[in-house]
């Protein structure tokens, strides 16, 4: 039995004997990716619990279980965790770390010790973000939390005036931003420097292209929000005046600065997810991907154009009509490269030998949910309809269809796809497919009624509502219950797979990219036995079989 990366590791310093310390100090990209996944999904469930609390409260009009103030804190907690702790590090931190170096034939990322440091920076950010959860006081027999109640966007001037603990949340967001920048920097250098000989940019797997485009957004957009949060802190505690109208400052400026980062950030979330889709579709259609170059370049152009669209968050904040029109048109423009990707994926499946394994089911489900999420986004990019739909449940439904039904669904697809690679075992396919069906049904029950409620005027972030909206909230509630049951079941199936799954071969899906050509599964500490020479395209199939084959020394034998 050969040793895998679970048995041995390189450490940032020292050579600790205990397994625990070896994990804490590891610089191995695969182990770091797994640790990110564990921490992120733990917080994911905390945020899900916050959301479920809100759905319970909203089951009927009026107050049921929690105070209005607690409700404000619940949606802030939900937003802060989901955005800053879960989905922004998200796919890059987990699969960018685990799979990207394997895909380009590297032994690790360019700066493994920086990678280790970044992980702990992320943990520090998480601790600071949640520290104010434990900062509560007990008054009149009820618990009063001091967690921020501003929503995850921290809009001035409210965030500057509230008595709750905004400072820790702002500092945490800044630190998590630093971690994100350093991850992006590490990946950019890795992709530029450590590709296997012969692998030029247009021979890279498309997931690597997604990570590459994402890394540029992490690097160039995150500092803007970082400094914005610092300025907000200086405003709050030293009164520098720039967001404070009573000193001539402009609160809308905060919105601009915030969205200059936070809109590109949604492309930062979706681009690696699209990368996962581009891996799964050819592998389970047993067919070379259609329009490789257009998919690769559309990732780059989404990242580029995505910088110029932030103003569409401010249509109702008082911008000139000229600026609104420009931002609206630029936003439509993003739909073009996204549409190109969708047509390419569907063209790839045409006349392919489609195998409906779990990862493929998730990918196909996402084509439906993300199409709804993406196209509803175009409807609110129109200025006229946005004036009506801004800050309603319609917008909420839109971005949950795009983020949960797009990014997180593809994240789940990736988990099911790379699971045998990471653990060398296979989950129960039947149960995993059942979990998909439950989640897919629950998801649509949960979010689709919100499109209607929002269109009819249900505003977001409200603690209470008019009785005519009750039916939609109750549909959503039962959807949420189904969804949470599906989530718990899916993770149960995966954990059962880790514990008792059947051992697999290194390439159970008949996939073509380099991470499926490892000598053993789980992979050994330093990945491929030898670095291959790459003179082939990433997805070459012939009559439904992979073309490129290697011997045990990574020499081609086809």
Partner 1 sequence: MAHDSHDSHEYVPEIAVDRDGNQHEVQGWQGDTYGGKLGFWLFMLTEVMMFGSMFMVLSYYFHLHPQDFLDASAGLNRVLGGTNTVVLLVSALTMGLGLLKMRNGDVKGAKLMIWATILLALVFLGVKAVEWTAEYHHGIFLGLDALQSGNEHSLPFGQILFFGMYFSMTGLHGVHIIIGIGLMLWLLKRINSGKVTPEHNILHFNIALYWDLVHLIWVFVFPYFYMIGAGDIAGGVIHGH
Q: Which residues bind partner 1 (CB under 8 A)?
A: 106-114, 181, 185-186, 188-190, 192-194, 196-198, 219-224, 226-228, 230-231, 234, 238-242, 244, 246-250, 253, 257, 260, 530-533, 535, 555-556
- CB 13 → partner 1: shortest distance, Å? 11
**Number of neighbouring beta carbons within 10 Å of residue 478:** 15
Query: Which tokens belong to 348?
Result: 């790839």
The full length of the chain comes to: 558
- CB 183 → partner 1: shortest distance, Å? 12
- CB 20 → partner 1: shortest distance, Å? 24
In angstroms, the CA 302 to CA 330 distance is: 11
17: Cα within 13 Å, side-chain hemisphere: 0
**Secondary structure E strands in 33-188:** 136-139, 142-145
Question: Across the strands, what pairs with 136?
Answer: 145
Q: Which is nearer to partner 1, 7 or 250 (CB)?
A: 250
Spatial CA neighbour of 514 closest among 497, 491, 537 = 537
Q: Which is nearer to partner 1, 16 or 291 (CB)?
A: 16
- CB 122 → partner 1: shortest distance, Å? 17
Q: Which is nearer to partner 1, 134 or 238 (CB)?
A: 238
**DSSP 8-state secondary structure symbol assigned to residue 59:** T
In angstroms, the CA 35 to CA 28 distance is: 11
Query: Which tokens belong to 92?
Result: 């890059």
Q: Which is nearer to partner 1, 107 or 461 (CB)?
A: 107
- Do residues 238 and 151 make contact, with C-beta atoms less than 8 angstroms apart? no
Helix (H) or strand (E) segment spanning residue 128: helix 112-131
- CB 219 → partner 1: shortest distance, Å? 6
- CB 497 → partner 1: shortest distance, Å? 32
**DSSP 8-state secondary structure symbol assigned to residue 407:** I
Q: Which is nearer to partner 1, 41 or 111 (CB)?
A: 111
Spatial CA neighbour of 262 closest among 184, 314, 322 = 314
Q: Which is nearer to partner 1, 235 or 344 (CB)?
A: 235
Q: Which is nearer to partner 1, 420 or 532 (CB)?
A: 532
- CB 282 → partner 1: shortest distance, Å? 23
- Do residues 82 and 90 make contact, with C-beta atoms less than 8 angstroms apart? no
Query: Which tokens belong to 390?
Result: 């801004």
Q: Which is nearer to partner 1, 249 or 352 (CB)?
A: 249
Q: Which is nearer to partner 1, 224 or 266 (CB)?
A: 224
Alpha carbon distances (Å) from 426 to 116, 345, 417, 421, 507? 28, 26, 10, 9, 12
- CB 248 → partner 1: shortest distance, Å? 3
Q: Which is nearer to partner 1, 232 or 458 (CB)?
A: 232
- Do residues 125 and 226 make contact, with C-beta atoms less than 8 angstroms apart? no
Question: Across the strands, what pairs with 137?
Answer: 144
Question: Across the strands, what pairs with 145?
Answer: 136
In angstroms, the CA 212 to CA 173 distance is: 23
Q: Which is nearer to partner 1, 191 or 493 (CB)?
A: 191
In angstroms, the CA 238 to CA 241 distance is: 9
Q: What angle do CA 420, 267, 77 make, to 5 degrees?
A: 85
Chain position carrying tokens 């105070």:
67
Helix (H) or strand (E) segment spanning residue 426: strand 425-426
In angstroms, the CA 422 to CA 4 distance is: 10
Question: Across the strands, what pairs with 550?
Answer: 556
- CB 108 → partner 1: shortest distance, Å? 6
Q: Which is nearer to partner 1, 107 or 537 (CB)?
A: 107
- CB 152 → partner 1: shortest distance, Å? 20
- CB 241 → partner 1: shortest distance, Å? 4
Phi and psi at 165, nearest 5°, equal: -85, 70
- CB 49 → partner 1: shortest distance, Å? 34
């Amino acid at each position: 039995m050969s040793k895998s990366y679970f048995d041995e590791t390189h450490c940032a310093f020292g050579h600790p004997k205990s397994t625990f310390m070896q994990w804490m100090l590891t610089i191995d990209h695969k182990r770091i990716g797994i640790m990110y996944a564990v921490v992120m999904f733990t917080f994911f469930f905390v945020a899900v619990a916050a959301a479920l609390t809100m759905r319970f409260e909203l089951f009927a009009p009026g107050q049921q279980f929690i105070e209005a103030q607690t409700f404000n804190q619940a949606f802030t907690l939900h937003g802060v965790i989901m955005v800053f702790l879960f989905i922004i590090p998200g796919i890059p931190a987990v699969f960018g770390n685990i799979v990207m170096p394997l895909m380009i034939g590297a032994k690790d990322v360019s700066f493994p010790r920086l990678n280790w440091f970044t992980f702990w920076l992320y943990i520090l950010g998480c601790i600071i973000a949640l520290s104010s959860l434990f900062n509560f006081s007990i008054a009149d027999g009820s618990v009063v939390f001091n967690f921020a109640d501003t929503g995850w966007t921290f809009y001035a001037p409210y965030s500057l005036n509230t008595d709750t603990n905004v400072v820790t949340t702002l500092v945490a967001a800044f630190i998590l931003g630093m971690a994100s920048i350093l991850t992006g920097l590490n990946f950019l250098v890795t992709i530029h420097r450590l590709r296997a000989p012969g692998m030029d940019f247009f021979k890279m797997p498309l997931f690597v292209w997604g990570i590459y485009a994402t890394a540029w957004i992490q690097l160039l957009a995150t500092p803007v929000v970082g400094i914005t949060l610092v300025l907000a802190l200086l405003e709050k505690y030293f009164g520098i005046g720039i967001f404070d109208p009573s000193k001539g400052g402009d609160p809308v400026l905060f919105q601009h600065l915030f969205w200059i980062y936070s809109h590109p950030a949604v492309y930062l979330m979706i681009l690696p997810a699209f990368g996962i889709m581009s891996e799964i579709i050819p592998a389970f259609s047993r067919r070379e991907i259609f329009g490789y170059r257009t998919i690769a370049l559309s990732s780059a152009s989404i990242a580029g154009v995505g910088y110029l669209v932030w103003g569409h968050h401010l249509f109702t904040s008082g911008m000139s009509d000229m600026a609104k029109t420009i931002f609206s048109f630029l936003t439509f423009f993003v739909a073009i490269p996204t549409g190109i990707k969708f047509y390419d994926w569907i063209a790839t499946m045409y006349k392919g030998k489609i195998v409906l394994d779990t990862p493929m089911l998730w990918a196909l489900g996402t084509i439906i949910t993300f199409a709804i999420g993406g196209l509803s986004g175009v409807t609110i990019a129109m200025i006229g309809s946005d004036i009506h739909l801004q800050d309603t449940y319609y917008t909420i439904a839109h971005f949950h269809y795009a983020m949960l039904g797009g990014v997180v669904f593809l994240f789940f697809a990736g988990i099911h796809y790379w699971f045998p690679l990471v653990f060398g075992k296979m989950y129960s396919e039947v149960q995993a497919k059942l979990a998909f069906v439950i989640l897919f049904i629950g998801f649509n029950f949960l979010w689709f009624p919100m499109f209607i409620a929002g269109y009819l005027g249900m505003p977001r972030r409200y603690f209470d509502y008019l009785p005519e909206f009750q039916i939609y909230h109750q549909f959503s509630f039962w959807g949420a219950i189904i969804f949470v049951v599906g989530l718990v079941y899916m993770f149960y199936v995966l954990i059962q797979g880790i514990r008792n799954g059947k051992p697999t071969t290194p390439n159970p899906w008949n996939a073509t990219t380099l991470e499926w050509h490892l000598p053993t599964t789980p992979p050994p500490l330093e990945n491929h036995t030898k670095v291959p020479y790459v003179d082939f395209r990433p997805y070459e199939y012939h009559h439904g079989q992979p073309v490129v084959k290697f011997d045990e020394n990574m020499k081609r034998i086809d």
